[in-house]
């Protein structure tokens, strides 16, 4: 089996390679291709990836290239993990909203929209080459944020794609030791939209133990998601960490106004990581990678690829079409829910309706995501305006008008779809 990683020069790649090395036999992995447009990253990250695979006993082929067509040609799986515009664009996503009095975050709110506008068209171009050149039954696995909007774009265009986030597996790995068991025995029933989810049940060997878990380990759960224990108890569910942007909006905004942008911190971490990756003696992912974010990404990605390849029918949390799973959302909305994975794809498990206090927020953001995907594809400024107006973290006309202009101006180099079109008679 051939697997291609688009954006293979990412500092995340050693995390992914570690997982692939562990699962190389189950995956029958014969070729890995890392594709990236950045020559320095290709050399540095590709070098470490080669040493890691060799140390793990991988006997297949590793290729490092800037040629997208060569990378995806004949591939059974294409993993997409790119950042259009790099960390400089991320810094813009985080700071432009702040100047307008709104939270600045790369996947949520106005910053998330800025990233979506740059990213969706590029991912769709990649997907078109996958459709043309990859194996007939190839899967696209998207880890590129904002995952929900990117996957909506892929599915709307008819691509064979599924989205992946590390939040659910991170919670599983945090909860398992609290229960004194190995992670495979724990299933977190996480539902909602990407980066807007709640765990409404925790199944241990098929039995829901969430009430006892909250009662006995509420403090640990609260610390993990950085939200108060009292909130978890009142909801009877564990909110994703990303809910603190909504539930503690004013506190977060004040912290961001006086603190260092996360983009600046990540840029420094990446510089340090690349320096470490250059060490010819390094054959394992360095501990510093944990500070980069994306913990357990390798486990989530390799589990998903293995299940799609072998059709073993296990349950994983992925981003897919709603298809009636969550009442109150449209059939074609992209939701993040547990699904049974086999060679045919991901089939969402049945879900009870969301409580009103959860559903209202989900509907609000789902409407925004629909408009955001349309704006990214069509290049219509009016849809950018409406998407910002619909988002619950923005929604005020003065800020919406200013953000529409500022986001499009800052991203101009990566937003050709918004260039004025010639009118022909």
Q: Check residue 344 and report its DSSP letter.
A: T
CB 122: neighbour CB atoms within 10 A? Answer: 18
Residues ≥6 apart with Cβ < 8 Å to 260: none
Q: Which of 123, 45, 43, 38 is nearest to 87 (CA)?
A: 38
Pairing between β-strand 238-239 and β-strand 196-204 as defined by DSSP bridges: antiparallel
Distance CA 324, CA 330 (A): 7
Q: Which of 242, 245, 277, 296 is catalytic?
A: 242
Decide: helix, strand or coil at residue 61.
Answer: strand
Output the 3-class SS for 153-206. Answer: HHHHCCCCEEECCCHHHHHHHHHHHHHCCCHHHEEEEEEEECCEEEEEEEEECC
Phi, psi of 134 (to 5 degrees): -75, 175
Residue 134, both tokens? 């990859």
Residue 122, both tokens? 């590029």
| Residue pair 293/266 in contact by the 8 Å Cβ criterion | yes
Active site residue 277: no
Distance CA 345, CA 80 (A): 17
Residues ≥6 apart with Cβ < 8 Å to 44: 9, 274, 277, 278
Active site residues: 242
């Amino acid at each position: 089996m051939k697997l291609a990683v688009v954006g293979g020069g990412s500092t995340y790649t050693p995390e992914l390679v570690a997982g692939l090395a562990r699962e190389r036999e189950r995956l029958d992995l014969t070729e890995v291709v890392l594709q990236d447009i950045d020559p320095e990253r290709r050399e540095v990250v590709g070098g470490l990836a080669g040493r890691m695979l060799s140390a793990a006993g991988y006997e297949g082929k590793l290729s490092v290239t800037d040629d997208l067509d060569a990378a995806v040609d004949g591939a059974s799986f294409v993993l997409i993990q790119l950042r259009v515009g790099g960390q400089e664009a991320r810094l813009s996503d985080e700071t432009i909203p702040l100047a307008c009095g709104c939270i600045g975050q790369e996947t949520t709110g106005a910053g998330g929209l800025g990233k979506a506008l740059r990213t969706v068209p590029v991912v769709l171009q990649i997907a078109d080459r996958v459709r043309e050149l990859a194996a007939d039954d190839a899967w696209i696995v998207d880890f590129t944020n904002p995952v929900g909007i990117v996957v909506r774009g892929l599915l709307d265009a008819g691509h064979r794609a599924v989205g992946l986030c590390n939040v659910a597996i991170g919670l599983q790995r945090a909860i398992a030791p609290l229960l004194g068991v190995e992670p495979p025995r724990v299933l977190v029933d996480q539902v909602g939209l990407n980066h807007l989810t709640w765990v409404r049940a925790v199944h241990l060997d098929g039995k829901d133990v969430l009430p006892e878990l909250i009662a006995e380990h509420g403090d640990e759960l609260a610390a993990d998601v950085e939200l108060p224990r009292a909130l978890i108890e009142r909801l009877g569910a564990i909110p994703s960490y990303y809910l603190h942007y909504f539930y503690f909006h004013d506190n977060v905004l004040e912290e961001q106004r006086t603190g260092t942008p996360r983009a600046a911190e990540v840029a420094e971490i990446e510089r340090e990581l690349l320096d470490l990756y250059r060490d010819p003696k390094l054959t394992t992912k360095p501990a510093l990678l944990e500070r980069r974010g994306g913990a357990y990404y390798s486990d989530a990605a390799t589990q998903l690829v293995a299940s799609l390849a072998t059709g073993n029918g296990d349950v994983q949390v992925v981003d897919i079409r709603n298809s009636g799973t969550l009442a109150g959302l449209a059939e074609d909305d992209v939701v993040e829910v547990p699904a049974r994975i086999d060679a045919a794809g991901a089939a969402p498990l049945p879900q009870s309706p969301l409580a009103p206090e959860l559903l209202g927020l989900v509907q609000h953001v789902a409407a925004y995501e629909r408009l955001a995907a349309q704006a990214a594809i069509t290049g219509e400024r009016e849809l950018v305006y409406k998407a910002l107006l619909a988002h619950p973290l923005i929604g005020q006309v003065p800020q919406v008008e200013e953000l529409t202009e500022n986001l499009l101006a800052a991203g101009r180099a990566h937003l050709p779809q918004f260039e004025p079109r010639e009118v022909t008679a």
